[in-house]
Amino acid sequence: MFLSRLIALFAVPVLLSGCFTAVVGGTAAVSSGIHDQRSVGTQIDDVALTIKIDARLIAETDMPSRWISVQVIDGKATLTGHLPTERHIQRAIYITESIKGVRSVHSELLVGKPEIGAIMTDSWITAQIKTKFWNDELVSGFSIKVETVEGKVYLQGIVNDFIQRQRAKDIAMKVEGVTAIVDLMQVAAK
């Protein structure tokens, strides 16, 4: 998680340069935009917000942000993972809320330190669910973000209808090791 954040922070200046953005950004917009109910502009805004939140959390001197995962859908930020104290959690929420463009913050942060075994299991669960989404004719692996913390699976994104939403929850619940599903998905406005 920390390595991906670090890579994202260094990639931002490159991605913001003209030519590279047109090629890479255009390709990303075409490949994920086909299945994502958000407009390309909203997707870009959400990615930018995620990067800003990550950068601010990483810059905080007393914030072990490597244990936090941030997802933004339609300006709504979800924080999952672990922090050592309730004070750290409240600070992470405050930092996220203070970033311009963040419409709301949903915290599922837990007090404590994640165990290495749990991190490995959670990564495996997330990978299994994403694979099943990509192989399903009804559910899109592009439009639903998946995060797992201690066996609890968070599903976030915009889906076409309630049938797709329920199908995603059913698929995720059948994966071994899943203890609960937190449905943060939204149904697209028609």
Task: Say if residue 40's pLDDT is above 90.
Answer: no
Measured CA to CA in angstroms, residue 143 lies from 19, 30, 89, 138, 158 at distances of: 26, 13, 28, 11, 6
Kindly state the greatest CA–CA separation across the chain. 45
pLDDT category of residue 130 using cuts at 50, 70 and 90: very high
For residues 148 and 25, what is the distance between their CA atoms, to the nearest angstrom? Answer: 27
CB neighbour list of residue 33: distance below 8 Å, 6 or more residues apart = 40, 43
CB neighbour list of residue 78: distance below 8 Å, 6 or more residues apart = 70, 71, 72, 105, 106, 107, 108, 147, 154, 156, 184
Token pair, residue 30, equals 């075409």
Task: Say if residue 110's pLDDT is above 60.
Answer: yes
pLDDT category of residue 100 using cuts at 50, 70 and 90: very high
- Is 61 in contact with 87 (CB distance < 8 Å)? no
Q: Check residue 180 and give its pLDDT.
A: 95
Whose CA is closest to 63, among 46, 76, 81? 81
Query: Looking at the chain, how many residues does it have?
Result: 190
Task: Say if residue 136's pLDDT is above 90.
Answer: yes
Highest mean pLDDT out of 39-53, 55-69, 71-85: 71-85
Task: Say if residue 21's pLDDT is above 80.
Answer: no
Q: Where in the chain is the domain with CATH 3.30.1340.30?
A: 116-187
Q: Check residue 36 and give its pLDDT.
A: 61
Residue 6 or residue 66, greater confidence: 66
Task: Say if residue 73's pLDDT is above 90.
Answer: no
To the nearest 10 degrees (0 to 180), the angle between helices 86-97 and 40-59 is 140
Which CATH number fits the domain 116-187, given the four candidates 3.30.1340.30, 3.50.50.60, 3.40.50.410, 2.40.110.20? 3.30.1340.30
- Is 68 in contact with 109 (CB distance < 8 Å)? yes
